């Protein structure tokens, strides 16, 4: 009788004591195959890998006593168990979270079909393991690692899910929110620093009044507590002579992309549409701004995305398309197309037409008013990045207003308490260094 087949999966960039202990237990049971979770699944389920799949495979191959290393392509074990048919799956006993419970049930039900067994090894929690865990997060926060990640994610997922943040706290929400839908685990890929929300949060109108130093301060607040890539709303980019400095600063900070819109003069929020006077920049001028930004950029990672306001200003698809062509030619790394229609039709029509002639330039869409459209539909029409541009701020305002009213009405805070986050949970949101 041959040795029993044992399988364990590693989802890590650094091998520590805990992994070695799992391997030791696995080896006692038979011949060990180790899976390395692929990049795409690592970023959905855990943190973004700081090493490529190939580097992680090589790291595991260097460990002693392993029969084989394979890439696990799904966080759930269906495919890998069907292929390997292991007698044992060995896993740390860190089954506490809801997502880990989904995985545990999945493994158990697959093994049950043929009498395989799940072996849980006590999860190692000591200073070294905690330190390594923290170091990985710290590395992901560093400008050079964070900046490059948007481009990498673009190559990994069908659509990059981006949510608006305007403070450290909203950054934490974007960073940590994870949902389980059936057996799928999901989280946001990137963050959007919206001019509308950054301004509104300061009680100011969205007219490029909040200056760049203040906008940068918001970026810093978010960066200090998060690891995910940042897309910055650069409004019109200002004067070309100023925009080049903005590009350098954003790049240095570790922002992954800036989106600038082709408007000129006093910018107003696009969702006003033609209700207020707004002037679109000339193609020539805007191209020069894009090209100037690209000229001063130092790294290959940073992206300048051109936002087209033709549909907002009711100039039609042809105008939008000719601008898209020109902006890409001028060096734009992506195109954002905006609309304030209730239905997504004009946006989807633009995306289809654009994709007919340009298969690769990333397309960005902000479905604030046409919010019935789904991520799957957008991806089907060639959209690569979806930005939920203002929902967190809009959620906070009515909630805070309601609480303020209730305290005034009842002359005490008792009545609202049930609607509030317990202080203990507020405290646990914030990680100490």
Q: Which positions are annotated as active-site residues?
A: 206
**195 touching ligand SPV, by CB under 6 A:** yes
CA distance 278 to 274: 7
Query: Sign of dihedral through CA atoms 215, 245, 301, 292?
Result: positive
CA distance 106 to 244: 51
CA distance 76 to 11: 13
- Comparing CB distances to ligand SPV, the nearer of 219 and 389 is 389
Q: Decide which of Mg ion, ligand SPV, none touches 271; Cβ closer than 5 to 8 Å per partner kind.
A: ligand SPV
CB of 386 to Mg ion, least distance (A): 16
SS3 content of the chain, % helix, strand, coil (to 5): 50, 15, 35
**368 touching ligand SPV, by CB under 6 A:** yes
| Single residue of 12, 167, 195, 384 touching Mg ion by CB under 5 A | 195
**301 touching Mg ion, by CB under 5 A:** no
Cβ atoms of 46 and 20 closer than 8 Å: no
CB of 195 to ligand SPV, least distance (A): 4
CB of 260 to ligand SPV, least distance (A): 10
Return the closest-CA partner of residue 384 out of 152, 147, 161.
Answer: 161
**269 touching ligand SPV, by CB under 6 A:** yes
| Single residue of 75, 308, 328, 366 touching ligand SPV by CB under 6 A | 366
**271 touching ligand SPV, by CB under 6 A:** yes
**194 touching ligand SPV, by CB under 6 A:** yes
Q: Decide which of Mg ion, ligand SPV, none touches 256; Cβ closer than 5 to 8 Å per partner kind.
A: none
**390 touching ligand SPV, by CB under 6 A:** yes
Q: Which of the ranges 50-58, 158-166, 232-240, 351-359 carries the binding residues for Mg ion, by CB under 5 A?
A: 232-240
CB of 250 to ligand SPV, least distance (A): 16
DSSP letters, 13-59, are SS--HHHHHHHHHHHHHSEEEEEEE-HHHHHHHS---SS-HHHHHHH
Residues 69 to 108: which contact ligand SPV by CB under 6 A? none
- Comparing CB distances to Mg ion, the nearer of 110 and 259 is 259
Torsion over CA of 150, 154, 156 and 160, rounded to 10 degrees?
Answer: 90
Return the closest-CA partner of residue 262 out of 210, 322, 302, 217.
Answer: 322
CB of 359 to ligand SPV, least distance (A): 26
**196 touching ligand SPV, by CB under 6 A:** yes
CB of 177 to Mg ion, least distance (A): 23
DSSP letters, 324-368, are HHHHHHTT-SEEEE----SSSHHHHHHHHHHHHH-SSS-EEE--S
E-state strands within 269-406: 279-280, 303-308, 334-337, 363-365, 385-388
- Comparing CB distances to ligand SPV, the nearer of 149 and 166 is 166
Where on the chain is the footprint of ligand SPV (CB under 6 A)? 194-196, 206, 233, 269-271, 366, 368, 389-390
Where on the chain is the footprint of Mg ion (CB under 5 A)? 195-196, 233
């Amino acid at each position: 009788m041959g040795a029993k087949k044992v399988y364990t999966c590693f989802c890590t960039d650094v091998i520590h004591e805990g992994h070695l202990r799992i391997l030791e237990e696995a080896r006692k049971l038979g011949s060990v195959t180790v899976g390395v979770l692929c990049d795409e699944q690592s970023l959905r389920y855990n943190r973004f890998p700081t090493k490529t799949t190939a580097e992680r495979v090589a790291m595991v191959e260097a460990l002693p006593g392993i029969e084989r290393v394979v890439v696990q392509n799904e966080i759930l074990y269906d495919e890998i168990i069907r292929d390997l048919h292991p007698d044992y799956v060995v896993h740390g006993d860190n089954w506490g979270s809801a997502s880990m419970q989904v995985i545990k049930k999945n493994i158990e039900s697959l093994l049950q079909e043929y009498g395989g067994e799940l072996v849980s090894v006590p999860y190692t929690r000591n200073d070294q393991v905690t330190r390594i865990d923290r170091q990985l997060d710290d590395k992901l926060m560093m400008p050079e690692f964070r900046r490059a990640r948007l481009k990498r994610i673009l190559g990994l997922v069908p659509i990059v899910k981006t949510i608006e943040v305007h403070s450290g706290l909203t950054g934490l929400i974007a960073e940590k929110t994870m949902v389980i839908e059936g057996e799928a685990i999901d989280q946001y890929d990137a963050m959007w620093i919206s001019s509308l929300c950054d301004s509104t949060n300061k009680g100011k109108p969205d007219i490029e009044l909040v200056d760049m130093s203040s906008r940068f301060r918001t970026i810093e607040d978010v960066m200090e507590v998060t690891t995910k890539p940042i897309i910055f709303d650069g409004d019109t980019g200002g004067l070309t002579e100023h925009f080049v400095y903005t590009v350098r600063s954003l790049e240095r900070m570790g922002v992954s992309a800036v989106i600038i819109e082709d408007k000129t003069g006093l910018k107003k929020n696009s969702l006003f549409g033609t209700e207020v006077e707004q002037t679109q920049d000339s193609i020539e001028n805007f191209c020069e701004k894009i090209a100037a930004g690209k000229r001063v950029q130092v790294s290959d990672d940073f992206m300048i995305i051109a936002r087209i306001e033709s549909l907002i200003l009711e100039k039609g698809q042809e105008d939008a398309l000719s601008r898209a062509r020109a902006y890409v030619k001028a060096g734009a790394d992506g195109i954002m197309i905006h609309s304030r229609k209730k239905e997504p039709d004009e946006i989807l029509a633009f995306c289809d037409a654009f994709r007919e002639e340009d298969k690769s330039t990333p397309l960005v869409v902000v479905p604030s008013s046409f919010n019935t459209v789904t991520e799957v539909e957008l991806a089907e029409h060639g959209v690569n990045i979806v930005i939920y541009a203002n929902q967190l701020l809009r959620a906070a305002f009515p909630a805070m207003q309601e609480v303020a009213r209730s305290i005034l009405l009842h002359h005490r805070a008792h009545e609202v308490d049930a609607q509030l986050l317990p202080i203990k949970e507020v405290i646990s949101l914030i990680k100490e260094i």
